Amino acid sequence: MNTRTRTLQFGLFLGLFWQPDLLWASSTSTGLPWETPMNTIRDSLTGPVAVSIGAIGFFVAGGLLIFGGEIADFTKRVMYAVLAASVMLLGGTIVSTLFTTATRI
C-alpha cells in the first residue's frame, strides 16, 4: 500500500470521525424504517371509522347470536369471529374510556 492510499484512507477516517451524522449509527436518526407504517396501521385501527365499524359489528353479531333462533353452525361460527374481531377493535377504546381517570393524575 503506498503512502497516497494510506493518506486518503486516514483523511476519510478523520472526516467521518469528525462528522458522525454521515455515519449510519448517528444520534440524529429518525427511527427504524418500519415505525412509520406501523404508526399508520395503529392510527387506522384506533380511529373513529374503525370504532364505528367495530361497534356495528359487535351489536349485529350479538343480536344475531341472541335472537337468531335456529341458525346454521357455520353462521354461528362466522358471528363468533365477527364478535371477536369487534371486541379486538374496540378493546383499546373501551380500556381507554374506562380507565382515563386513573391515567389523568
- Angstrom distance (rounded) from CA 102 to CA 105: 7
Query: pTM (2 decimals)?
Result: 0.52
Write phi, then psi, for 24 (nearest 5 degrees): -70, -35
Question: Per-residue pLDDT averaged across 4-29, rounded?
Answer: 68
14: left (phi over 0), alpha (psi -120 to 50) or beta: alpha
| Per-residue pLDDT tens digits for 34-54 | 888 888 888 887 778 888 888
Q: How confident is the model at residue 10 (pLDDT cuts 50, 70, 90)?
A: confident
- Angstrom distance (rounded) from CA 51 to CA 73: 28
Q: What is the pLDDT of residue 18?
A: 66
